[in-house]
Amino acid sequence: MANVKAQTISSQLWAIANDLRGTMDASSFKDYILPFLFYKYLSTHQEEYLVDSGLVDPSEGKSVNELYKEIVEQEGLEDCLMDIAGSLGYAINPEDTWVSLTESIHNGTVVPGDYQRIFENFNANAEINQEASADFRGIFNYINLGDSGLGATTAGRTKTLNAVVSKIDEIEYKDESGKDILGEIYEYLIGKFAANAGKKGGEFYTPHEVSIILAKLVTANLENREDTFTVYDPTMGSGSLLLTVRNEIPDGSRQGAVSFYGQELNTVTYNLARMNLMMHGVTYNNMNLHNADTLESDWPDGVDHDGIDRPRSFDAVVANPPYSAKWDNNESKLKDPRFSDYGKLAPASKADYAFILHSLYHLNTEGTMAIVLPHGVLFRGAAEGKIRETLIEKNYLDAVIGLPANLFYGTSIPTTILVFKKNRTNRDVLFIDASNEFEKGKNQNNLSEENIAKIIDTYRNRVDVEKYAHVASLEEIKENDYNLNIPRYVDTFEEEEELDLDEINRMIEQDNRDIAALEKEIAEQLALLGVKL
């Protein structure tokens, strides 16, 4: 994270989380501190809207929240909520705003049912704007307010939640220039929770350095464009990879410059992604996220939930799917257009190629796809070998990049990035072996900016680099029976320096002379002391 203040604040929040979570493990406590950060963001964002739209005028000497309550009394709650939700996609009742909640905590008037009421009201209001309803519906449902880890009694759990809210409220979420950095803080905390969760963390977070590589690969040849850039992640986790792609697009932070599409099986993680994107300034009408099994429930056809035609193919597809996961490879899937052109299905015990074919199916003819997978996809035979051969013969595979081991949470295995394009005119494949270039970390290896730059520069230049990269012809790949194992194409063998035996013998002789001289000196000193050997 480039923002030093955001880093500092995030560290403070991480320390607070450790202090407050008691017996609850960190991977579970994230389900409380992250949603409340998001709720603060939504409430603050609504306050800004009330002022910017002219609905309230804080220059009158009253707070925005006080003025909001007065407007509701004058115009009615329903009309005010409809106005707010029509613009923001959501609306928060006056008694449920972050300011109202913190005031109640400070006054000691919070009762155990208050948190349940706040989230129930939010859910009800999420249906006001039908176009945005799917983006906000049930976003706080996964918060278990009755978790005994928060406290043994209802009062104890309320006390813990009050402490979480109060600690979050104590911190100023702006940098030195006044810029809101809540999104950066949220992203940092997701990474911290993922690292602490170990194997579980690998289910929802791609290390930022790897995300940067994927993002740079799919935007490597992107020229300035005025139309909207579409990016899709079929296993989006917390949505961080989608946001990293935006950072690589010229003027990507401009509203409407990028449309985000993603699907995630785990409901809690899906909610994290919705929160993450919105806290980074992505509006509900620029994101389309689904909570579903990607391999079983393909991206919806044609018209989406809001009645608008959505593309089935995208300018960029990025993915870090679960490695060698099990899936239902029922033969009926051979009729599925995602898989039908390849004659074989990925084995039931290893869904890697199912994710590849799904992702490739949704790539448009001018786009680029980058997916991270275990090395087995490069050389395993049987059905996977047949699919791999077909992909190569169709000329979709553009590059194979080997990454160092121990980069990811939850697994120490080395991984590979496969890059695909559908409009290739050349028939070769670029192989990059970046497995030996990394910075050693305490628990994990890391990629430096120089490591990342070398990978991307080599991809763009597309020429041989001694002991690092090789552009392999189709004939070479055929000669290897379509085996893509990187050492077959990039020789990283380092010859050991030849030993000078004469010099070694001279050194041994000198050592023996030094030892003899030392032993003689010791014997003389002992004789002076009257010690006989």
Residues 93 and 81 sit within 8 Å (Cβ to Cβ): yes
The answer to whether the CB of 470 falls within 8 A of the CB of 431 is: yes
Q: What is the pLDDT of residue 532?
A: 67
Residue 465 DSSP one-character state = B
Please say whether the beta carbons of 249 and 229 come within 8 A.
yes
Query: Burial level of 183, CB count in 10 A (0-12/13-18/19+)?
Result: buried
pLDDT tens column, 69-96 = 999 999 999 999 999 999 999 999 999 9
Would the pLDDT of 494 be above 60?
no
Can you tell me the distance from the alpha carbon of 384 to that of 402, in angstroms, rounded to the nearest whole number?
A: 19
- pLDDT band per the 50, 70, 90 thresholds, residue 204: low
From first CA to last CA, the distance across the chain in angstroms is 68
Inform me whether the pLDDT recorded for 7 exceeds 80.
no
Mean pLDDT of the 482-503 span: 79
Sign of CA dihedral 74, 136, 98, 46: negative
> 113: which DSSP letter?
T
For residue 226, CA distances in Å to 222, 223, 229, 258, 368 come to 12, 10, 9, 10, 18
Residue 201 has pLDDT above 70, yes or no: no
**Taking Cα atoms as reference points, which of 469, 391, 464 lies closest to residue 434?**
469
d(CA 20, CA 210): 32
Angle at 139 between CA 228 and CA 9, to 5 degrees: 80
pTM for the model: 0.87
Q: How far apart are CA 456 and CA 224, in angstroms?
A: 19
Is residue 186's pLDDT more than 60? yes
**Cβ partners under 8 Å of residue 460, min gap 6:** 220
Backbone angles phi, psi at 392, to 5 degrees: -70, -40
Task: Report the percent of the chain where pLDDT is more than 90.
Answer: 64
Q: Is the pLDDT of residue 197 over 80?
A: no
Return d(Cα 292, Cα 311) in angstroms, integer: 18
Q: What pLDDT band is residue 224 in, cutting at 50, 70 and 90? A: low
More confident: 227 or 2: 227
User: For 500-525, what is each residue's pLDDT tens digit?
Assistant: 787 888 888 888 888 888 888 887 77
User: Mean pLDDT throughout 435-448?
Assistant: 87
Select the more confidently predicted residue: 236 or 207.
236
Predicted confidence band of residue 198 (pLDDT cuts 50, 70, 90): low
Contact (Cβ atoms closer than 8 angstroms) between residue 314 and residue 367 = yes
Pairing relationship of beta strands 258-264 and 287-291 according to DSSP bridges: parallel
Residue with tokens 């603060």: 40
pLDDT interval class at 192 (50, 70, 90): confident
| Strand positions, DSSP E, 208-313 | 229-233, 258-264, 287-291
Mean per-residue pLDDT of the chain: 89
Q: Which range among 95-109, 419-433, 484-498, 499-513 shows the weakest confidence by mean pLDDT?
A: 484-498
Note the pLDDT tens digit of each residue in 300-310. Answer: 755 455 555 55
When mean pLDDT is compared across 61-70, 116-125, 496-505, the lowest value belongs to 496-505
Of 22-31, 211-220, 486-495, the one with minimum mean pLDDT is 22-31
152 close to 143: Cβ distance less than 8 angstroms: no
For the segment 467-494, the average pLDDT, to the nearest whole number, is 92
Strand stretches in 310-460, DSSP E:
314-319, 363-374, 397-402, 415-421, 429-433
Domain 4-199 shares a fold with domain 204-488: no
How much is the pLDDT for 1?
43
What CATH number does the domain located at 204-488 have?
Answer: 3.40.50.150
**Closest by CA position to 270, among listed 247, 253, 287:** 287
Buried b vs exposed e over 90-111: b needs ≥16 C-beta within 10 Å?
Answer: bbbbbbbbbbbbbebbeeeebe
Q: Is the pLDDT of residue 3 over 90?
A: no
312 residue type, one letter = R
Crossing angle for the helix pair 4-20 and 182-197, to the nearest 10 degrees: 50
Q: What is the CATH number of domain 4-199?
A: 1.20.1260.30
Residue ranges covered by each domain of the chain: 4-199, 204-488, 501-533
Closest CA to 253 of 240, 266, 264, 243: 243
